[in-house]
A and B are shown apart, each in its own frame.
Chain A
Amino acid sequence: MNEREMLEKRISKLCKYLGRSPWVFHVNSGSCNGCDIEIIAALTPRYDAERFGVKLVGTPRHADILLVTGPVTDQSLERVKLIYEQTPDPKVVVAVGACPTGGSVFFESPFTNAPLDKHIPVDVFVPGCPPRPEAILYGVVLGLEKLIKKIEGEKE
């Protein structure tokens, strides 16, 4: 069984445990949109995350997982914090790409505020410029496992 099938088995097991599939909301904090296109390509029929029920929703109030891209620019800082507060608990934040991790090529500028860790708590970092769609799916899987731990932690 190759890597891809193992990944798929893990995702379906996690979805069954959770009871429903995770819904994802995507936030762009000033990126060049390379990572955003890879996120959407992860939902098209080639890599196909939609068959597990993972889908992009239009409002953060329905979301379980937040995907954030971009070096956090000055004018988008407020939006990112606002969206973080609007998402209901329990939630998981995944930082996609090299920009929210450490700034990438924009690390020294008067207008960017990378890394994302300084402003909202982050659970998973996915490096790459841009990361492959399979890598983003793997990051979402790791986020799902953390989400399950958080839900179990609440039940106790």
Chain B
Amino acid sequence: MENRVEYWVKIPIGPIHPALEEPEKFIITLDGERIVNVDVKLGYNLRGVEWIGMRRNYIQILYLAERMCGICSFSHNYTYSRAVEEMAGIEVPERAEYIRVIIGELERIHSHLLNLGVVGHAIGYDTVLHLSWLARERVMDILEAIGGNRVNYAMNTIGGVRRDIEDKHKRAILEMIKYYREEVMPKVEEVFLYDPTVEARLRDAGVIPKRIAIEYSAQGPTARGSGVEKDARYNEQLGVYPDLGIKPITPKEFTGIIKGDMFDRMVVRVGELWQSMELIERALDQMPEGKIKAFPKDNIALVRLKKAEGEGIGRYEAPRGELIHYVMANPGSEIPERWKMREPTFPNLFAVARALVGEQLADVPVAIASIDPCLSCTDRVAVIDAKTGKKKVLTEKDLLKASIEKTREINPNIKAKPEPVGGTCGGVRL
């Protein structure tokens, strides 16, 4: 047609500051202001993890799997040990199952708080970023006291957990939950449920209809925000979760309407924060005494695994969606025959790429932040649109500026400046 304008955009997915003259970050071809087609190009974080996994034994892969993602490290550890336990038929003592639930839910709380801050920054509310990251530090203190490190603490082993939760930890956890309930959650709800500017900005933007969410197999809060009621902890009857009472959370319980836009996904995350706190309290009540490991030492586990044969699958609900690991044994050797995993952002990204067609440029950074990309895996997305013509290079600052301008039209009191501050978490697959 007439003048096609081709924009070569560098999209701020994650803490990569794209001030580089490299054209393939995001190629958005715009038709006026609307996007027409989205293409995905990955591979920036290719480290060859599956190739490395063909040369490590069962215990060494525990540490390798943890370092796939910097924020859901416990989830990868847990899913891998589930897969090996299913393959070899190992039974886990009950106290260890309860400890796994508690640590998993603590991780979910701090991951959701991180994402709330990032979305707040992307629409111009910088104070939300600083306050939620400050609130998150209480959880990190407790994880450090139990696990030994803030991130990558390797709590799981094949057949149980490595460290126990003592009475002083229990008191600290209950105090932390009380603090969150009284001080942090009312502020979070005030911003993300009741503030009219945020609602006007996030409503009806980045909509993923239910049909597309089912067709593209979206996972996690992205799918639940569109009305698909699935949750791997509920569908799999995983561990002791059915005894603690779990159901998938949809926006219907909070606002009553389901539209599948960005606002709904944030509502689902706020709901999951409440649910995690209740699950932790119930688990601390019901936890029995007993052993925490099936094998007293790791070498004994290796000897047992050398004789195992068969294959096993482990599934778990990470903060971003469904994680799945597969292990196949090689009888007589300590090295598994095949190990494969898939993280939840992979299908989510294709679903949101399909949903961005027809939207405005200013919604792109917020839409990508609202599916909570475990970055590293999806650092390059190229969007190609119709008309030919000039090429223009936009940087992260321009996109943030456009997004903040749009918020300013709704509420002129926003004083944020478009400073990039880094982004979401990471976690790549290969």
Q: What residues make up the interface of A, taking CB atoms closer than 8 Å to B?
A: 25-28, 30-41, 43-46, 55-56, 58-61, 71, 73-76, 79, 82-83, 104-106, 108-112, 129-130, 132
Contacts and interface: CB of A to CB of B under 8 A. Distances in A.
B203 to A, nearest CB: 28
B397 interface: yes
B67 A104 contact: yes
Contact of A58 (B46, B63, B396, B424): B396
A25 B422 CA distance: 11
Contacts of A58: 17, 19, 395-397, 419-420
B421 A32 contact: no
A28 B46 contact: no
Contacts of A83: 20
Contacts of B375: 33
Given A58-B396, A75-B43, A106-B47, A46 B69 contact: no
Contacts of B227: none
A33 B69 contact: yes
Nearest to A98: B67
B22 A30 contact: no
Size category of the binding interface on chain B: 35 or more
A26 B17 contact: yes
A34 B151 CA distance: 7
B67 A44 contact: no
B64 interface: yes
Contacts of B64: 105
Nearest to B14: A33
Interface in B128-168: 129-130, 133-134, 137, 150-152
B15 A33 contact: yes
Contacts of A104: 67
The 3 closest A-B pairs by CB, nearest first: A33-B426, A34-B70, A59-B19
Contacts of A34: 67, 70-71, 73, 151-152, 426
Given A30-B47, A46-B137, A106-B48, 7 more contacts: A30-B428, A43-B421, A44-B133, A58-B395, A71-B47, A108-B52, A129-B67
B97 to A, nearest CB: 27
B401 to A, nearest CB: 11
Nearest to B134: A45
Contacts of A111: 46-48
Contacts of B254: none
Nearest to A112: B47
A49 to B, nearest CB: 13
29 contacts: A25-B17, A30-B44, A30-B46, A32-B67, A33-B70, A33-B375, A33-B424, A34-B73, A34-B151, A36-B70, A37-B15, A37-B151, A39-B15, A40-B133, A40-B421, A41-B133, A44-B134, A44-B137, A46-B133, A56-B422, A58-B420, A75-B43, A79-B20, A82-B20, A105-B63, A109-B47, A112-B47, A129-B67, A129-B152
By secondary structure, the B interface counts as: loop
Contacts of A112: 47-48
Contacts of B68: 32
B51 A73 contact: no
Contact of B428 (A32, A38, A39, A41): A32
Nearest to B60: A105
A105 B60 CA distance: 10
A110 B51 contact: yes
Contacts of B51: 109-110
Given A37-B70, A37-B71, A106-B52, A73 B47 contact: yes
Given A58-B17, A105-B63, A106-B47, A130 B70 contact: yes
Q: Which of B14, B64, B133 has the most CB of A within 10 A?
A: B133
Contact of B376 (A31, A44, A74): A31
Interface string B388-430: 0000000111000000000000000000000111101111100
A112 B48 CA distance: 8
Contacts of B20: 79, 82-83
B114 interface: yes
B330 interface: no
B15 A36 contact: yes
Nearest to B43: A75
A32 B114 CA distance: 16
B376 A32 contact: yes
Nearest to B396: A58
Contact of B427 (A26, A32, A46): A32
Q: Which of B17, B64, B134, B152 has the most CB of A within 10 A?
A: B17
Q: Which of A28, A32, A111 has the most CB of B within 10 A?
A: A32
Given A58-B396, A60-B19, A130-B70, A109 B48 contact: yes
Contacts of B376: 30-33
Nearest to B132: A44
A111 to B, nearest CB: 4
A88 to B, nearest CB: 14
Contact of A40 (B47, B397, B422): B422
Contacts of B70: 31-37, 130
